[in-house]
Chain A
């Protein structure tokens, strides 16, 4: 079944409305929690009067920050780990107590008999505010005179982190024949999973145990964080369950105040269940945002097309307080892969993390890597334009060559402390680019442009030759001092082959729509010869699944499924030993072919795994020292990340009069290693590409100077629509990853990482006749029209 495009086993239930998402859960005696959110982006709370709300119909309880005995949310990934980088940490409280730092921060909560009554009662809470000056732009926030958010963070600076070789890069830039400088904004995005977030808390006064349902990518981690850091409730007294999760894009990795709030509230009201589900508008204000970098880029090299260095200074907007791993995204996951797939010998990157009066920012599909890819892919186009070299040719001259792997990149992937060696282990970049250029007819571009011009359109083609870091991550690296988040990132799986041969695989990973119930079953069917229909994959419940770190960073196929393969190997070995016992043969003589275990040279002397399971699980007659049951658990810590790569090509047409941009062709050649299910891979690429194109052309979170979110709903925040896309053309090269037995690399983020830069480069190519070398996204009609209006060159 490995490599077969089977239809997803999840789809019948999802497509026919039989999925069980958080808000589908109805419990007897359910109450409903609503959160009063700050209308101000920066204000002191002078008083909160909840007396009127308490008297409103159906109200069970009203809480303010003063009622909540819990700690603030945990900071899991300071920039630079704890390696001497000062992180001025300010975490959200479960409910704000003294002040608010963004419009939408929670200040009080109502529990009521119905959602309607809870919403009504919010209007009965009177808060006396002392509004304070606001700043929403990360660069402006660091300047003298800017409003100050936190006493412990002068100039609103969370941290100043650097990576690379400053002296070497400075020298390379000083000595360079050509240096191109550009300010580049990677604007803020709102993630928009189809299902918003929500939680249900249920306290059992008899056992003093809690059950928390949450729409989460990381139920095990949330149990750990909520117990060990926030509530002080013992970990073994809490069970966390993520039901079907309708998308996440990273937003559901994190620890949110509402999770602790429903636990607190359920206990406070005597053990009735408490449900909170955010509205879409609320989600826009209180679930994490993505990106939001302002970057000063310098790229240096010679006119022959050799790039000798890049120097980058980035202001990363992290919001009013920090999200769980906010500082880790624009540092480790950004600066360390800034040179992409290029052999750029000198890299220096400074990142300033900044507080502003905005919603917190954390990992959003790709997390740091799209920002890095955008910078380096724009940089390559800028440099090519400056020296008058073809963009593909410049890339070709600077690619890391196949014989240069393993490659330690100069922004420090290979030099992490803690003894872990992280390097780009494999790749072959030119064939992917050549395939893409041939497919798109790159040599015929001038003719395409001329034809479009005859229709009043400016045609542009953009390339993005990207790499990605997937399969996160070796624990020694991600847990290392100075690097990651002080925790491991291995994965786990348990396999039980029951008496009837029906098999249950439980995994520590947690899908959000990726089809893991299908792909795990494909892998297991391949490993054990058990039909897919006989395999069920269970996950996302801390009771009954082994501890796992959850699903994000394309780690499930590479790390999680390797744990499953390892567990399957244990099953196979035990089955072999028992088959030898059943067949009265030596273990060494038992051969395995799929589900069949037979004596070498005598294939008629055979037991199937189903027969073996029946006998061993009954356990009447195990051999000396063998325990009954085919039940094995394995843990897997990957020795390296995986390194997908590829070339994406976008062709756009700009309407000369209106500035409207049409994406007319999109072609991607991706190398994601061996594929478990090509159908699912294609789906991931389609969605990721659409999301990345969305950033380039339409999506943008907009705040006014007072910190009010102007793009506060889908009426003003433009989600891409299917009808705006041409058919997406996909092709592949396959360079198996050496770090796992399947050779899989992961594909969750590739589309989103590559496509933004491809479209940006295409739009700017279309505008090149105006002398335009750079333009900040999103390329809305107005933005493009104005760029043409003000351009010094009018073709």
Chain B
């Protein structure tokens, strides 16, 4: 449980941090809260040569308004998000999902940005980001680009983030009017990660479902938007039978995970159950 030796660098500014990453060296890893990376280091499953600690960069902390939504610093902790009145007002889904992440200590250290960048296929935050149509601001010494959450998660622990880039900000658009949101999770009891985690944003207009986003984690080899569910539900009345008919598509097109906690058959079945429950809850709220 002792990591292999590594060089530790704590840049004083974002510019310095980006300079440290500029070489695009695969042996360099970024650390913020460390709650995903440190366990891997201790088990020597990850043996980076250099850690760049961005956890104290003021530029990457804080939560502010972005249009009628939110801009969350790439290294803002879960606790900061939970404590933010603005986040609670504009995006209650975040708090709902973060509330169940780890424990107080983990939430005080762990970061939303770190969870997204780490891209554990069973972590909660990617599903939430997908459902919220989050935009991820990726910056390198060479410049900045903005990537949609849908498209950011590529494989287990692999994202669109390049080795020379930092996730500097998470932008969350304002929710549609009268939106209902929820996060529902079947938890793997040991890790607290999701066997199935479902984030939903849904809205009605004129008696039909006008907006629906379903982010799913734990099921596929990376978190995904259940587009088949969304397509099946959009434009319907959002009633129980519409929801049930849509929810069966929860794992469509996915390579469903299998492990000692939940095999493929069970995960697939639970994806449908939890998508249905999440849609019911969110629509009841919408």
Binding site for B on A (CB under 8 A): 115-116, 119-120, 279-282, 657-658, 660, 698, 702, 710-711, 713-719, 724, 780-782, 785-786
Contacts and interface: CB of A to CB of B under 8 A. Distances in A.
A717 B5 CA distance: 28
B245 to A, nearest CB: 17
Contacts of A713: 43
Interface string B258-286: 00111100100110011000000000000
Interface string B231-266: 000000000000000000000000000001111001
Contact of A116 (B2, B43, B188, B191): B2
- The interface centre, meaning the residue of B4, B261, B274 with most chain A CB atoms within 10 A of its CB, is B261
B251 to A, nearest CB: 15
B5 A116 contact: yes
Nearest to A114: B2
Contacts of B270: 658, 781, 785
Interface string B186-198: 1011110001000
Interface in B1-25: 1-2, 4-5
B1 A281 contact: yes
B5 A719 contact: no
B229 to A, nearest CB: 17
Given A282-B1, A717-B190, 12 more contacts: A120-B4, A702-B260, A711-B190, A713-B43, A715-B39, A715-B190, A716-B190, A718-B188, A718-B189, A719-B190, A780-B261, A785-B269
Contacts of A724: 189
Nearest to B39: A715
Contacts of A120: 4-5
Sorted nearest first, the 3 A-B pairs with minimum C-beta distance are: A279-B1, A718-B190, A718-B189
Given A657-B273, A719-B190, A782-B266, A710 B260 contact: yes
Nearest to A778: B189
Contacts of B5: 116, 120
Contacts of A657: 273
Contact of B260 (A658, A716, A786): A716
A280 B269 CA distance: 34
Nearest to B42: A279
A781 B186 contact: yes
Interface residues of B, number: 22
B266 A786 contact: yes
Nearest to B103: A721
Given A658-B186, A716-B260, A781-B186, A281 B273 contact: no
A281 to B, nearest CB: 6
A782 B191 contact: no
A782 B263 contact: yes
A698 B1 contact: no
Nearest to A279: B1
B218 to A, nearest CB: 13
B201 to A, nearest CB: 23
A120 B47 CA distance: 12
A116 B270 CA distance: 43
Nearest to B1: A279
A51 B2 CA distance: 22
Contacts of A716: 190-191, 260-261
Contacts of A714: 190-191
Contacts of B261: 716, 780, 782
Nearest to A724: B189
11 contacts: A280-B1, A660-B186, A702-B260, A715-B190, A716-B190, A716-B191, A716-B261, A718-B188, A781-B270, A782-B261, A782-B266
Given A116-B5, A782-B263, A281 B269 contact: no
Interface in B41-82: 42-43
Interface string B170-200: 0000000000000000101111000100000
Contacts of A281: 1, 43
A143 to B, nearest CB: 24
